[in-house]
């Protein structure tokens, strides 16, 4: 037991350590759903998933299940997937197209902006207490929905910083994801890969820029890839996933030659993975050469070099997005319960690029970000082991103090440190503390 109570939630996060309840307490999880996922900008989908009026997809804002729609006027709406009559889930599939959103239970029909459009057998409802024109019978909608270069975000708070302000410097990662398309647009394609692990959602975010762990957790896939490449026929270009497994095998000094960055609002990334660490022989692939030529046609040599040279890896948008632009990967970390998390992985197709670029991206996801991944399965095994161990209350605190105080200010709203610093986790936990401390 601890004397820390939820009125003083900020005491659970100190500069270099965090209380284990942050990962294990169901009440804290519920508060996170209100104070983080119920307030700040949360990614809910990509425009390419709902191109036409009448299209909709299901999405999540933390535990809240939503429908993201494009209405007749072309506007985007984020609605609770819960009927205003007696609470039935309205959309039963992951995506669809329809003129109205019709509840399967008693047939109430809603427009794509959430307004109640029609009620079968209205007389019984409207006689006395029920006024169907009352806006309370519209589907609850997110008060703010905004788009950044095709990525749809929503916020359940009626006011607060705008999306661009919230993203700050990490917007550059979304820019880079889109700029890599010769036609300046990406689409989510190939279907979503959904995985789960029995651990807290923050573990996945904290692990993504933890550059000490690969040398330990991923030793088996590092050795496997290295030995494979040693024995492979010379001259063959290995697929990207195998190169990435191998790339995890650099030394701690080499990881330290990379940088990790923390930004306002909890965003982070690491840079220099290709320059300082692994080589990227896929660049020599003929497909990549053709793709690069298309980019030069469109943007010119200098701008192309700048776009393709942006070497940031695991770009993390707080609270739950991880983007890897080099492999056209977009991942969403979905909290389900305090000890259960889903991961959704998407491939981004670069419009105007050779189709083989997309095929490489799909192959990368199927190999490195799928349930069979030799890399992420080790991460998940670690998260599950940590979650199970944290349930035991004997030791109350987790340590996040590696290189605490060594970070350097760089730019307006950013700090940087050497690769193996625990700066990225502290950045996220600071944001957590700031958000969770506001009742």
Closest to 179 (Cα-Cα) out of 275, 305, 266? 305
> Which does residue 345 touch among Fe ion, ligand FES, another protein, none (CB within 5 to 8 A, set by kind)?
another protein
Length of the chain: 439
CB 378 within 8 A of CB 226: no
The answer to whether 270 and 312 are in contact (CB under 8 A) is yes
**Six-digit token pair at 273?**
């993975």
How many residues bind another protein (CB under 8 A)? The answer is 48
- Other Cβ atoms less than 10 A from the Cβ of 238: the count is 16
Residue 368 in tokens: 């490195």
Q: How far is the CB of 376 from Fe ion (least distance, A)?
A: 7
Q: Is 100 in the site for ligand FES (CB under 6 A)?
A: no
**Residues in 315-354 at the binding interface with another protein, rule: CB under 8 A:** 342, 345, 347
Whole-angstrom Cα distance, residue 292 to residue 288? 6
Of 377 and 430, CB closest to another protein:
377
For residues 64 and 204, which CB has a smaller minimum distance to Fe ion in the complex?
204
Calpha distance 332→314 (Å, rounded): 12
Token reading at 400: 């996040």
Does residue 206 touch Fe ion according to CB under 5 A? no
Minimum CB–partner distance for residue 87 and ligand FES (Å): 6
Question: Judged by CB, which is closer to ligand FES: 83, or 343?
Answer: 83
- Taking CB under 8 A as the rule, does residue 390 contact another protein? no
Which is closer to another protein, CB of 38 or CB of 374? 374
Question: Pick from another protein, Fe ion, ligand FES, none: which does 238 bind, CB < 5 to 8 A by kind?
Answer: another protein
Q: Smallest distance, Å, CB 102 to ligand FES?
A: 9
The distance of Cα 353 from the centroid of its chain, to the nearest Å, equals 24
Q: Is 263 in the site for ligand FES (CB under 6 A)?
A: no
Q: What is the DSSP letter of 338?
A: T
Write each residue from 167 to 196 as x if it is in contact with another protein (CB under 8 A), else as -, in one continuous string.
----------------------xxxxxxxx
Nearest CB to Fe ion, comparing residues 111 and 315: 315
Strand, coil or helix: 112: coil
286 binds another protein (CB under 8 A): no
140 touches another protein (CB under 8 A): no
Shortest distance, position 104 Cβ to ligand FES, whole Å: 7
Q: How far is the CB of 284 from ligand FES (least distance, A)?
A: 57
Rounded to 5 degrees, φ, ψ at 318 are -65, 140
- Site for Fe ion contains 379 (CB under 5 A): yes
Phi, psi torsion values for 245, nearest 5 degrees? -55, -45
**Smallest gap, in angstroms, from Cβ of residue 229 to ligand FES?**
57
Interface with ligand FES, residue 103, by CB under 6 A: yes
Q: 38, 161, 352, 374: which one contacts another protein (CB under 8 A)?
A: 374
Dist. CA 300–CA 305, nearest whole Å: 9
For the residues of 55-108, what is the DSSP string, one character each? Answer: EEEEEEETTEEEEEEE-TTS-EEEEESS-TTT---S--SSEEE-SSEE-TTT--
Q: How many CB atoms within 10 Å of residue 224?
A: 15
Indicate which single residue of 14, 169, 359, 396 sits in contact with another protein (rule: CB under 8 A): 359
Owner of token pair 């700040």: 40
d(CA 187, CA 181): 10
| CB half-sphere exposure, 375, CA atoms < 13 A | 23
Which range of residues in 109-117, 146-154, 374-382, 426-434 is near Fe ion by CB under 5 A? Answer: 374-382
Cβ nearer to Fe ion, comparing 76 with 375: 375
- Please pick, from the candidates 6, 8, 86, 372, the single residue that binds ligand FES as defined by CB under 6 A: 86
8 Å CB contact between 193 and 331: no
Residue from 6, 94, 98, 105 touching ligand FES (CB under 6 A): that is 105
Structure tokens at 5: 């109570």
Q: How far is the C-alpha of 389 from the C-alpha of 339, rounded, in Å?
A: 12
**Among another protein, ligand FES, Fe ion, none, partner that 292 touches (CB below 5 to 8 angstroms by kind):** none
The binding site for ligand FES (CB under 6 A) comprises 83, 85-86, 88, 103, 105-108
The binding site for another protein (CB under 8 A) comprises 189-198, 217, 219-221, 223-225, 227-228, 231-232, 238-239, 241-242, 245, 342, 345, 347, 358-359, 362-363, 365-367, 370-374, 376-378, 380-382, 385
């Amino acid at each position: 037991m601890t004397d820390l109570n939820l009125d003083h939630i900020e005491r659970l996060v100190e500069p270099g350590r965090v209380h284990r309840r942050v990962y294990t307490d169901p009440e804290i999880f519920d508060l996170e759903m209100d104070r983080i996922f119920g307030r700040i900008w949360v990614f809910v989908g990509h425009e390419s998933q709902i191109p036409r009026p009448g299209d909709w997809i299901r999405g999540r804002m933390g535990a809240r299940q939503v429908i993201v729609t494009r209405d007749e006027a072309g506007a985007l709406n984020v609605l609770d997937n819960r009927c205003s009559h007696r609470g039935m889930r309205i959309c039963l599939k992951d995506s669809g197209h329809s003129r109205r959103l019709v509840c399967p239970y008693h047939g109430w029909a809603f427009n794509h902006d959430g307004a109640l459009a029609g009620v079968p057998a209205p007389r019984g409802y409207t006689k006395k207490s029920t006024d169907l024109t009352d806006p309370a019978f519209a589907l609850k909608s997110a008060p703010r929905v905004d788009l950044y270069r095709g990525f749809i975000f929503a916020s359940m708070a009626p006011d607060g910083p705008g999306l661009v302000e919230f993203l700050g410097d990490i917007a550059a990662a979304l820019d880079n994801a889109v700029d890599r398309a010769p036609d300046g647009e990406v689409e989510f394609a190939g279907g979503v890969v959904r995985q789960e692990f029995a651990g807290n959602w923050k573990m996945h975010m904290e692990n993504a820029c933890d550059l000490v762990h690969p040398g330990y957790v991923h030793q088996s896939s590092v050795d496997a890839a290295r030995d494979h490449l040693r024995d492979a026929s010379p001259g063959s270009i290995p697929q990207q996933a195998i190169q990435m497994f191998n790339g995890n095998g650099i030394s701690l000094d080499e990881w330290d030659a990379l940088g990790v960055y923390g930004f306002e609002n909890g965003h982070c990334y690491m840079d220099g993975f290709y320059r300082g660490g692994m080589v990227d022989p896929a660049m020599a692939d003929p497909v990549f050469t053709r793709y690069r030529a298309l980019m030069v046609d469109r943007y010119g040599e200098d701008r192309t070099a700048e776009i393709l040279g942006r070497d940031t890896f695991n770009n993390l948008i707080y609270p739950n997005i991880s983007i890897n632009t080099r492999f056209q990967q977009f991942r969403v970390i979905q909290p389900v319960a305090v000890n259960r998390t889903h991961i959704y992985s998407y491939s981004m197709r670069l419009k105007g690029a050779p189709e083989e670029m997309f095929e490489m991206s799909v192959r990368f996801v199927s190999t490195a970000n799928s349930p069979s991944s030799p890399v992420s399965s080790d991460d998940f095994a670690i998260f599950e082991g940590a979650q199970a161990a944290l349930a035991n209350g004997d030791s109350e605190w987790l340590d996040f103090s590696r290189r605490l105080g060594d970070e350097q200010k760089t730019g307006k709203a950013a700090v940087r440190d050497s690769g193996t610093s625990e700066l990225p986790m502290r950045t996220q936990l600071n944001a957590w503390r700031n958000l969770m401390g506001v009742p």
